[in-house]
Amino acid sequence: MNKRVVVTGMGVISPVGNNVEEFWKNLVNGVCGIGLITEFPTEDLPAKVAGEVKNFNPADYGIEPAFARKQDKFSIFAVAAASEAIRQSGLSTAEDGNIDPLRFGVYVGSGIGGFTTQYKESEKMISDGAKWISPLFIPTMIANMAAGNIAIRNNLCGPCVPVVTACATSTHTIGEAYRAIKHGYADAIIAGGSEAATIPLGIAGFANAKALSRSENPNYASLPFNLNRGGFVMGEGAAMLILEEYEHAKARGAQILAEICGYGNTCDAYHMTAPRTDCKTQAAAIKMALDEAGYTKDDVLHINAHGTGTALNDSLETKTFKLVLGDDAYKAHICSTKSMTGHMLGATGAVEAIASVLALRDGIVPPTINLDTPDPECDLNYTPNKAEKVDITIAISDSLGFGGHNGCVAFRKAE
């Protein structure tokens, strides 16, 4: 029997806020979290702006100095966001807790993993030799360690499945966790993603692939659906959602934030970095999620778009929405929160899923900031520059990743 799945907790570390309410307030107000890079010199780099996490103190999330000192940033961000989400959910695996540890899982991924650690240890290998490599290098760097650390720290003994699908990673972790609970394999799963790839090697690699904005004006660099767009802006952080079986949540009196009710997952099978130009596979993922969620033409639809600010993504994503919705695409209330956060890679799907849940909760569509010159090929309602009050009935978030990975999740208000 298919079970209903709801959201009972959320946590976020992002360029626009290090807790859910701060994050949401800044999105609604159109606050740009992008700035000139502060963590390393950029004189020799082709891109000089990023969405860095600011004013982050691991101790605020119960993270000990020894853990913070030894772990990669992507793991630290993940543990912090998970701490907030679990605290909000009220779930506990203690002896007197309210969930069996074997029924509480972790589906948390990263597009790249411990990139900072890999970069630093590689420098040591080249300059000083093998004997100076940290014995913690491998377990700190591998991309599954964020999920492992969350499970270890919270006694979560259920299914633990990291996902790596580039920029679609945490949309897929949420979707696959939803299916695991829906089909009875767990009572609750913490699902999300984390990324900390804003390092010189990461900037150089994405920039030389012609993917990054070269703008040196932080307030006019991430420009989704804008005719003046010139590439995405790197972001960093983590986002986590607690997905829980509805009857389990109801029985313990949990606050239900939304119901997750649809998921689609396809692959372009086309190109390593470019989206498929006929948009059929991207559209199929979105249609799967909408069909499973019971979408009808009477629904008021909000879409948190992938909206990266690259030339191909934005025009083809617009084409995708039209392919799925027909003329109803012009009635959808769409935005790209990447205009404020930058592109958080493996964390971006979960960050945007949280924004979708909050848009449903409050009936507010956040803006796509700096949309002063819309691309004529991107002619849908992308909520330019100012948030809009809308009585949304269904919200979806779609993500597209290098390798042709497509994902979409759908949410409705909890009844």
Q: Which of 251, 271, 301 is the last residue of a domain?
A: 251
Say if residue 225 is in the same domain as residue 290: no
Q: Is the pLDDT of residue 214 over 80?
A: yes
CA nearest to 289, candidates 249, 320, 314: 320
Q: Which domain holds residue 298?
A: 262-412
Say if residue 244 is in the same domain as residue 273: no
Q: How far is CA 253 from the centre of its chain?
A: 28
Say if residue 155 is in the same domain as residue 280: no
For the segment 108-140, what is each residue's pLDDT rounded down to a tens digit?
999 999 999 999 999 999 999 999 999 999 999
Structure confidence at residue 82 (pLDDT): 98
Structure confidence at residue 337 (pLDDT): 98
Q: Does any domain span residue 185?
A: yes
Q: Among residues 248, 302, 333, 343, which one is catalytic? A: 343
Question: Average pLDDT of the chain?
Answer: 97
Say if residue 77 is in the same domain as residue 165: yes
Q: Does any domain span residue 257?
A: no
Say if residue 213 is in the same domain as residue 275: no
Rounded-to-integer distance, Cα 118 and Cα 17, Å: 27
Q: Does any domain span residue 370?
A: yes
Q: Among residues 172, 248, 302, 306, which one is catalytic? A: 306
Q: Which of 202, 231, 251 is the last residue of a domain?
A: 251
Say if residue 247 is in the same domain as residue 268: no
183 catalytic? Reply is no
Say if residue 296 is in the same domain as residue 245: no
Rounded-to-integer distance, Cα 289 and Cα 299, Å: 14
Token pair 């074997």 is found at: 102
Say if residue 307 is in the same domain as residue 205: no
Say if residue 213 is in the same domain as residue 305: no
Q: Is the pLDDT of residue 415 over 90?
A: no
Q: Does any domain span residue 209?
A: yes
For the segment 249-304, what is each residue's pLDDT rounded down to a tens digit?
999 999 999 999 999 999 999 999 999 999 999 999 999 999 999 999 999 999 99
Q: Would you say how long the chain is, in residues?
A: 415
Structure confidence at residue 142 (pLDDT): 98
Q: Is the pLDDT of residue 359 over 90?
A: yes
Average pLDDT (24-28) is: 98
Q: Does any domain span residue 12?
A: yes
Q: Does any domain span residue 58?
A: yes
Q: Is the pLDDT of residue 154 over 80?
A: yes
Say if residue 200 is in the same domain as residue 58: yes
pLDDT-based confidence at residue 72 (cuts at 50, 70, 90): very high
- Give the chain's domain count: 2
Q: Which of 213, 229, 251 is the last residue of a domain?
A: 251
Average pLDDT (215-228) is: 97
Rounded-to-integer distance, Cα 169 and Cα 194, Å: 9
302 catalytic? Reply is no
Q: Does any domain span residue 256?
A: no
Structure confidence at residue 326 (pLDDT): 97
Q: Does any domain span residue 331?
A: yes
Helix (H) or strand (E) holding 67: helix 65-70
Say if residue 175 is in the same domain as residue 290: no
CATH number of domain containing 378 = 3.40.47.10
Average pLDDT (20-48) is: 97
279 catalytic? Reply is no
pTM: 0.98
Rounded-to-integer distance, Cα 100 and Cα 104, Å: 7
Contacts of residue 381, defined as CB under 8 A and 6 or more positions apart, other chains included, come to: 330, 331, 332, 333, 334
For the segment 167-207, what is each residue's pLDDT rounded down to a tens digit?
999 999 999 999 999 999 999 999 999 999 999 999 999 99
pLDDT-based confidence at residue 2 (cuts at 50, 70, 90): very high
Say if residue 219 is in the same domain as residue 120: yes
Q: Among residues 167, 279, 335, 408, which one is catalytic? A: 167
Q: Is the pLDDT of residue 218 over 90?
A: yes
What percentage of the chain has pLDDT greater than the value 70? 100
Q: Is the pLDDT of residue 1 over 80?
A: no
